[in-house]
Amino acid sequence: MCLTKIKLYSVLLIGSYSLKLIWAPLVDALYVQKMGRRKSWLIPVQYSIGVYFIYMASNIDEWLPETRRPDIIKLVSVFFFMKTLVATLDIVVDGWSLTMLKKNNVGYAATCNVSGLVIGMIISYVCSVLLTSEDFSNKYLRFSPNVGGVITMKSLFYVFGILFILITTLIAIFKNEKDNKLEEDHVKLSIVQNYSLLWDILKLPSIQILALTLLTAKIGFAATDSLAILKLIDAGVPKENIMVIHTTILVLKIIVPLVIAKYTSGLKPLNIYLTATPIRLLWNILFLVFIYYTPKLITMNGSVNIPIYYYALLVLILSIHNILPNIMGVSTLAFISRISDPRFGGTYVTLLNTLSNLGKAWSNTVAIGMVDFLTFKQCSSYQQNNCSTADLKNNYPSKFSN
């Protein structure tokens, strides 16, 4: 029952973002002309996020207490609504970027998207994990030990809530939006017409080929992307050390999109994607070999003792493993931005991004689901026991004793 509830809560949290295509046509169709097509949504949504952060700050200690069980239902409900607001904001920003930037610069939207997302991840990680950690604060940020982190989760929500409201106010005052009536080939569609537009887009032969490509392009990387880190942890590599390495690599994921921007913002942004694909496939094979030999490399005399050279190899392999999909992701987003019709930008970009996300989601899910089926197991040194059935798992000690 508990596992079922956890799965249901996870689906709710993921669903609000994955299913944003359902209301993307609404975002394209409904707006106040005087306020601006995108600002009509961006301003109220960002104000709502700011107010909602302040509301969460006043209740987070009750929902997430230190001495008793957290209120899971309340937390899931709150974050589901928050992710719905953020998903709506994503639709707005994607649509606005197509008209805000000149046609020859629209590829830079992907650079800003990916680099900005990673910067946000670093800020949220540092603030929500490190600065609220008592151990980290006492070890690195204080002269003398004290209780709790240097900032509480409650204070953090207040700070971000106020920042959202202030930044949104500045955007409302100082950022003007071009009148969409002046756009080339301007078309005003009703809500019904915007929803039928989705079907019209999907009927285009070129989009059907692209959809099939986006849904299947990540099959070759699914096993490594979804299971590599789990296998390393299972082999004995401390997850804390892997997390530190990943945090360091995030800095590279900010820099890389800026370095390759001149390639992804050109007329053929997918060229760098096609170049990176075979390299990534070959690197996956190298990574799998590294994972296979990890237990032997980190084990000495029957106990885990990880040498320095292993961490050097791990940093190198994980860096390339993260940089290559980062490059390919920027290239894909740049291509989507370039081919999307700015007149229906929110709907167009959301549709193609959703197909790309679904391609990753289903392939990773299948890879994880096939782990047990494709794994060779041995519960003991008794060679005939492959641990393939519950009976063999439960009774292997008696078999081994024979």
Q: Sorting pLDDT into bands at 50, 70 and 90, what band is 2?
A: very low
User: Both tokens of residue 32?
Assistant: 């106040």
pLDDT in tens, 174-222: 988 887 666 666 677 788 988 998 889 989 999 999 999 999 999 989 8
What local confidence, expressed as pLDDT, does residue 7 receive? Answer: 43
Residue 221's nearest CA partner among 284, 279, 278, 276 is 284
What are the tens digits of pLDDT across the range 137-155? 887 778 888 888 888 888 8
Give the length of the chain: 402
Chain mean position to CA 379 = 36
380: left (phi over 0), alpha (psi -120 to 50) or beta: beta
pLDDT at 401 over 50: no
Taking each continuous run of H as one helix and of E as one strand, the counts in the chain are 17, 2
* 80 band by pLDDT with thresholds 50, 70 and 90: confident
The pLDDT of residue 391 is above 80:
no
pLDDT (tens digit per residue) in 320-377:
999 999 999 999 999 999 999 888 888 999 999 999 988 888 888 888 888 777 766 5
Q: Give the Cα separation of 137 and 143 in Å (integer).
A: 10
Helix H or strand E segment including 395: helix 390-401
Question: 19-57: per-residue pLDDT in tens?
Answer: 888 899 999 889 988 888 899 999 999 999 999 999 999
Q: What is the largest CA-CA distance in the chain?
A: 85
| Bridge partners, 299 (sequence order) | 304
